[in-house]
Structure 1
Amino acid sequence: MTRPSLARLAIDHFLAAAALVVAVALAMPAVAQERVTLGWGRLLTNDAIGDGKDRWRTGSYVLNRVRGPSWSGELPTRPGEILEFRLRVETLAPADLVTPGPLDRRYVGALTLGMHTHFQMAGIESSVGLDAVIVGPQTGISRLHGDLHDALGLPAPTVFGGQIADDIFPTLTAEFGRTLDFGSSVSFRPFVEAQAGAETLLRVGGDFTFGHVATEALMLRDNSTGQRYRAVAGDRVQGISVLLGGDIAEVYDSEYFLATDAITPSDTRKRLRAGMHWQGAQSEVFYGVTWLGKEFDEQPDDQLLGSINLRLQF
């Protein structure tokens, strides 16, 4: 699915500048201080803990390792100081894995490996990164999915033979946002994001935070839900924080849909999300729910995904 437009050209220029930032960051000499691991981010997302249905953007898991010389509670002004290394696994599937309908999406198993840098420019919080999105049977995701069905005594899926074929899509993503504070524990962060590669899109949205989960912390954004989760802790005030957000994207291209398919990918995608983060003396728990609008015109319904992150210490 490809839709050339003036907006697409703007994305190309926008991401070309982002690519230059990545190149400059990689070419810069190492900072004087040795890099250390500043924190880990992780988020499990599945519709089994959302609407309870196994379909479409059905599940993902992301693991992030953040390294840098130190963390002062705010982003550095130079790209390349803070590096995030990302591993992500995602499954997209038709609504029925055994007898899929003729107007449903193909199965996709995607394994993502990437590096992103986080910094700020004139108060604008910036994230720029490059990922390799690996798809097809070569990832082993469909084989693992089938083994799981066998172990649970579920019917064997038949959709794997028609899944998106083996390929690797270099994908560049850039996000820019600004946090607006409204008191000691309320903030709003509007953002714009552009992505080119496995999927090419331009997204705008915003997120409210009520509480201290994001105070002096490095927050990351999940690709499929847009949920923001903490990778480097800042203010560890005990209590509950609530996160509310939403965004809309204009989609120009997606490698997850083939021109020969009988379905029509949607030009826009909408997301609404809510989450609750509990911080204890040593442990923390996050649970969020995300509403996803339709990604192709023939999709009969929207869907709800649940996301969870547990950090338990005893």
Structure 2
Amino acid sequence: MAPESVYHFQEVLEADPRNTVQMAEQCEKVLNADSPFFLYFCTDDPHRGYPFKPERWDLPNSFGNKEEGYAGVETKVYDPKDVIVPEFLPDTKQSREEIAQYYQSISRIDQGFGKLMSMLKEAGKWDNTIVIYISDNGMAFPGAKTTVYEPGIQLPCIIKDPFSKLVGGENDAMISWVDLAPSILDMVGITYNIEDFHGKSFKNVVEKGETEGWNQIFASHTFHEITMYYPMRVVRFNNYKLIWNIASRIEYPFASDLWASSTWQGVYRSKSEYYGNRKMKDYLYRPEFELYDLSVDPWEVDNLATKRKCHDILASMKYKLKAFQRETNDPWIIMWDHDSSMQGTGVNL
């Protein structure tokens, strides 16, 4: 969260954000404090590491990994031939090498988080501390991070709640990170005005396994870097998902680190027809609307938006998306009619 002057913490703990064990050790004072605490443990792993553009195009990014490793952290190395390549990525030498580096970076998180949990137990706080483990975006590969496809927005959420009777359960309720603040306040018994929050509390999902009313979710993307401006809006209802590519008439722009990745460059330079299970031309030039039935098409390759049999569901999903944009004062709502005449007029929508 940045800048700190805006998203203000009472105290910022200093440590190497790639050395997750060192980060955990810096938390000792917080864990042993007598007063209740909120600890935000945010690593740089597994982001891509500098330099984003390698000396040779086919060299894998380091993902922060170093030959000499990090003090107190066991370096875990993975063989590219053993990694699992998800369907949205190309199964190439470059892709496998980068995934292996990615796994190594994730292993540092495992160790640092494991250290933090051990310290929590040693401090005697294990049985009265709620732990929420999440990611803020999909893996840093083209087709995931900076996209609104499932690999970009379907993220892990693991919750340890000592006050819940549910243990080891899984839940398919559709929650969003905008739900985190009201959920945390609700879970620790702090009263708040529901109207002050965009999201809603998922306390009953965690404590009782409830799913009713959690079958719809919205997502958006506007830009990642100033040179990667490509607004997209999304609604998912049950298994249907609609993506509105508002800037569909231009080529899909790249975050600089993803463009320079050997995974992308290997496919781009070889002029391959496919990138993973999607045609290159479909990845770079997207239609205005993409509609998918995730129950039969989890990798989002069969666009139903132009199929007559899906006309009614398309219209229904458009209605849901537009209503949400109106509710949240989304300025891009004016583009439903492709009417740019109102831009800059200050019209209250």
TM over 0.5: no
Greater RCO (Cα-Cα under 8 Å, separation 6 or more): 1
Q: Indicate the structure with greater strand content.
A: 1
Taking structure 1 as the reference length, the TM-score comes to 0.26
Q: Indicate the structure with greater helix content.
A: 2
Rg (Cα) greater in structure: 2
